[in-house]
Amino acid sequence: MRLNLKTLAMLLAVLLPGAVWAAAFTASLDRDTLTLGERATLSLAFEGGLPGNVSLPQVTGLHMEQVGNSSQNTFDFSGHGTTVTTYLIAVAPQQTGEFTIPAINAEINGQKFSSRPLKLIVGKAIAPSAAAVNSGDQLAFLKLVLPKAKIYVGEPMVAYLELYVRDDVQPNGNFQMTSSPTDGFNAGKITEQRNQRRVQIGNHVYTIIPLALPLSAVKTGSLALGPFTATISVLQGSHEGDPFAQLGSRSPFFHGEQKQVTLATEALNIESLPLPQQNQPANFSGAVGQFDLAASAGPTTVTVGDPITVRVQVSGRGALDAVTLPAQDAWKNFKTYPPTTKLETTDQFGFQGTKTYEQIISPLNNDVQELPALTFSFFNPEDGQYHTLTQPAVPLTVKAAGTSPMPQIAATKTSNEEKPAQDILPIKENLGTLVANKMPLVAQPAFYAAQAVPVLAFLAAFVWRKRTDNLANNPRLRRQRAVAALIASGKDDLKKYAAANQPDEFFATLFRLLQEQLGERLDCPASAITEDVVDGHARLRNAPAALRIALHEQFQLCNQTRYAPVRGSSELNSVAAQFEKLLGELQNLKS
Amino acid sequence: MKPWLSFVLALVCAGNILAADVSADFVAANKLYAEGKFTEASAAYAAILKTGAQSRALLFNAGNAAFKAGHLGQAVAAYRQAELLSPRDAELWANLAFVRNQVQGATLRESRWQNWGTMLTLNEGAILTTAFFWALFVLLAVRQLRPALTPKLHSVTRLLAALTLFSGTVLALQAANRFNAAIAVVTSVETIARSGPFDEAQSVFTARDGAELKILDRHADWVQVADSAGKIGWFSQKQVAVLPGA
């Protein structure tokens, strides 16, 4: 019986979709306290219908983003069914503090609802104490390791973030750095290293996953590095009986409870020392590290103006990116062109490798006998000393013959090469043309309107061509137009002859016009048209009787003119008027 | 004198007076530069630019003065603006490359097609495309008016159609880059990129004076940027010069 009632209620729910169930809206957070770097989930649950006009509030310091939604049908004990739609919003704090997510307004089936405000406290991630670490209670923790506490400004160094993961948990592949404060340093990308190792801490064995952070100080003084914070998702459970765990590798059979762990390191201070001023070579250009120098030049027998390629290789360990070839003052007898550079690194951090410069120079006169010695100075942070490397002068044979064209290598924009080592080019003396700061052409509607002109010209030509072709292929149309032109000029002639009282010319013209017009209408030669055609041609036989009578009259008038006395101008004008009327009727006659 | 003529004369005179003022200020700024007063010269050039006057030489000199005064970012910004007016100026390339070479840390590098596509200014590209387009349609119209010429004009028409299509495509890419893309040049000695558009947000990375970064988004007085290594962060617009895409 109970089952039957429920079935009935379900049937009613299906049959009465318009039935009004109670609507509701609630907003809730899965947690109200978290540390910076973690995320909370805000659930917006809409019961009794789909929501409309929901907008997320803007809270300074909180980033909210919808990450999914779900829908669930539920039935209560009385059999009433309702649908609960839940929107899931990820809330990512971007600073510490106490936040209030204000009331959220929503509309369900025309009813307006408002949630209650929610509080969220965001604390700072704190590195675990030494005692907590040594106890072996931490599932995972992060440690910042520095190779040394004092470095010179510009000296490259690799710091390590060591991620310790306890043996009874397995990383779930969701490690994410949430804060990497490296103010005062030029820091590279944090990369995972392969040389993992295991260590016993307390009663547990931890796997250490090293993460390398290449960096170099860009300013002097005491610089704080860190605290670095991160989050990692781990699975916690037992490895008992798991063959993969015995081998120390990740197990595909491991299924445990998923936990999110917030990680934080201590902040460490590094003393960044300035490069000593004492004994600094004049040509020192900021290279810090340990380097070797190699150079070659060729060809060594040239004429004045010929190009000589000088190839300089600086190899070693240091901030190779920042290494520049110093200006060679001894090259004043050469015209120099901007060098090209190529950097080849042999380690993953870009600290070890070779930087190659290729520079084109050309002797300015034939007094040049050698390419002067090339010098390069650097600061070695290991011994705290400046070192100057020198490549010996290269003997040259320079002939005074005509100049050769120089290779076009100067300052091509597409190259990433290093540019002139000396200085920037001087300022311009002339102001030049002042340019109004107006919109570019492509942003002006007139530009697009102007493009219509040639298109319209083409269309006009196209239409003209079509009409011309049409006329050329249609002799009737052509004749129609020719007759129309003839009639137009003939009418003027008639008026002229009438005014001059010249009946012979008048009637001759009238007769000819009648022939032309009838010939065109009846599609037969004009010379074949006589009065007989009025009654003889099938098309005219079907024409209105008045038209035929008028045609007869006109033909007879033309014939009578040979015998009748001279007529006056008024009579001729009257005939011309009748003719014009007749023409109108003839032109309406279907051809 | 007729009122409209007076108005035109007044406009012409006002323009000349403005140009004369700018020219005098320009000479004065050049003098400061020549005397080695680079900071003052940089301020003088900036004051002229603030009036809305622009010329290649003015921006070039402003870049030089900013560089000599130790402001790499301002120099890069001035050179890049000059590049929009005069994209084929070898001296400008040389100075821009020289200054870029002094910039430390990661910075945005233009792709090969961007470099190639900006060999013409946007207006030059527009005029060139218009010329090809007009010539193409005039030729098509001539073919309609004089059909006998059609066989002779066939290859020229095809060439013009190809040129129109090509230059139109380049122009479209160039315009899209100009209007949709933007570059931020760091003008502070060291600028911290934040994870959000507010001062209290966590620092993500640090960019040095002169670094060029691609703008991804804007929010109020903040710009979201990505550096060449793909790191993303927010800068206050006070710390950067925002320039249109190349």
Q: What is the pLDDT of residues A340-381, one digit of tens each?
A: 788 888 888 888 888 888 877 878 777 888 888 888 889 999
Radius of gyration of chain B (CA): 23
Q: Which of residues 209-228 of B touch A (CB under 8 A)?
A: none
Cα gap A206→A510, rounded to integer Å = 123
Q: Do B208 and A186 touch (CB under 8 A)?
A: yes
Say if CB A98 and CB A121 are below 8 A apart. yes
Q: What is the pLDDT of residues A312-330, one digit of tens each?
A: 888 998 888 778 877 777 7
Q: Three-state SS for A199?
A: strand
DSSP letter for A104, please: -
ipTM over 0.90: no
- For residue A67, is pLDDT > 60? yes
Q: What is the pLDDT of residues A412-460, one digit of tens each?
A: 344 444 444 467 888 988 888 887 667 888 888 999 999 999 999 999 9
Residues of A in contact with B195 (CB under 8 A): 94
Q: Three-state SS for A401?
A: coil
What is the per-residue pLDDT for A541?
Answer: 82
- For residue B117, is pLDDT > 80? no
Mean pLDDT (whole number) for B36-54: 91
CA of B6, closest CA in chain A: separation in Å? 23
Is B56 near chain A, with CB under 8 Å?
yes
- Using N-to-C axis directions, what is the helix angle for B56-68 and B90-102, rounded to 10°? 20
Say if CB B104 and CB A322 are below 8 A apart. yes
Q: Do A410 and B64 touch (CB under 8 A)?
A: no
- For residue A14, is pLDDT > 60? no
pLDDT tier, A488 (very low <50, low <70, confident <90, very high otherwise): very high
- Using N-to-C axis directions, what is the helix angle for A475-499 and A503-522, rounded to 10°? 160
Q: Which of B93, B104, B119 lies at the smallest CB-CB distance from A411?
A: B93
Q: Do B202 and A425 touch (CB under 8 A)?
A: no
Say if CB B20 and CB B30 are below 8 A apart. no
Q: Do A424 and B99 touch (CB under 8 A)?
A: yes
Neighbours of A538 (CB within 10 A): 7
Residues of B in contact with A155 (CB under 8 A): none
Greatest alpha-carbon span in chain A: 148
Mutate to test the interface with B, among A39, A441, A467, A470 (most CBs of B within 10 A): A441
Say if CB B56 and CB B78 are below 8 A apart. no
In one-letter notation, the amino acid at residue A204 is H
Omega of the bond leading into A128 within 30 degrees of 0 (cis): no
Neighbours of A364 (CB within 10 A): 14
Mutate to test the interface with A, among B21, B50, B101, B149 (most CBs of A within 10 A): B101
Quick one: tokens of A205? 């064995």
Strands (E), A364-411: 370-371, 374-380, 385-391, 394-395, 397-399
Q: Three-state SS for A378?
A: strand
Cα gap B111→A406, rounded to integer Å = 28
Say if CB A387 and CB A310 are below 8 A apart. no
HEC string for chain B:
CCHHHHHHHHHHHHHHHHHHHHHHHHHHHHHHHHCCCHHHHHHHHHHHHHCCCCCHHHHHHHHHHHHHCCCHHHHHHHHHHHHHHCCCCHHHHHHHHHHHHHCCCCCCCCCHHHHHHCCCCHHHHHHHHHHHHHHHHHHHHHHHHCHHHHHHHHHHHHHHHHHHHHHHHHHHHHHHHHHHCEEEEECCCEEEEECCCCCCCCEEEEEECCCEEEEEEEECCEEEEECCCCCEEEEEHHHEEEEECC
Mean pLDDT (whole number) for A563-581: 81
Question: Quick one: closest CA in B to A468, which residue?
Answer: B145
Give CA angle at A304 (A303, A310), nearest 5°. 85
Name the helix (H) or strand (E) containing A310. strand A308-318
Q: Do A322 and B196 touch (CB under 8 A)?
A: no
Which carries the bigger pLDDT value, residue A386 or residue A331?
A: A386
Mutate to test the interface with A, among B40, B115, B137 (most CBs of A within 10 A): B137
Q: Three-state SS for A166?
A: strand
DSSP letter for A36, please: B
pLDDT tier, B111 (very low <50, low <70, confident <90, very high otherwise): low
What is the per-residue pLDDT for B197?
Answer: 85
Cα gap B170→B189, rounded to integer Å = 37
Integer CA distances (angstroms), B87 to B116, B125, B202, in order: 10, 12, 39
Closest CA to B184 of B238, B140, B105: B238
Integer CA distances (angstroms), A398 to A297, A298, A330, B110, in order: 14, 12, 17, 40
Mean pLDDT score of chain B: 84
pTM (predicted TM-score) = 0.42
Integer CA distances (angstroms), A396 to A365, A529, B187, in order: 12, 108, 46
What is the per-residue pLDDT for A239?
Answer: 56
Omega of the bond leading into A299 within 30 degrees of 0 (cis): yes
What is the per-residue pLDDT for B21?
Answer: 80
Cα gap B246→B232, rounded to integer Å = 20
Neighbours of A529 (CB within 10 A): 23
Say if CB A245 and CB A198 are below 8 A apart. no
Mean pLDDT (whole number) for B214-221: 86
Q: Is A347 exposed, middle or buried (0-12, 13-18, 19+ CB in 10 A)?
A: exposed
